[in-house]
Structure 1
Amino acid sequence: MEARLDFTGTEFAKSYYENMIANEKLFHTASTVPHRTMELVKLRASQINGCGYCTDMHYKDAVHAGDDPERLNLVTVWREAPAFDAAERAALALAEESARLADNPHGVSDEVWAAVREHYDDEQIAALVAMCAQINAWNRVNVILRTPAGFYDPETKTARYQDAKR
Structure 2
Amino acid sequence: MIRTLAPEHPAYLRAVRASAWYDLVVTSGFATPWTYVLVHDALSSSGSALGLGALPQLDPVQVLYANLMGSVVVVWAVLRLVRPLPVHGLLDGIARTLFAAWQAYALAHGATRLLWLFFGVEVTFGLVQLVPWWRHRNTNLLNAEAGPAVGRPLNTEGA
TM-score by length of 2: 0.32
Q: Which has the larger radius of gyration?
A: 2
**Bigger fraction of residues in helix:** 2
Q: Which structure is richer in relative contact order (CA contacts within 8 A, separation 6 or more)?
A: 1
TM-score by length of 1: 0.31
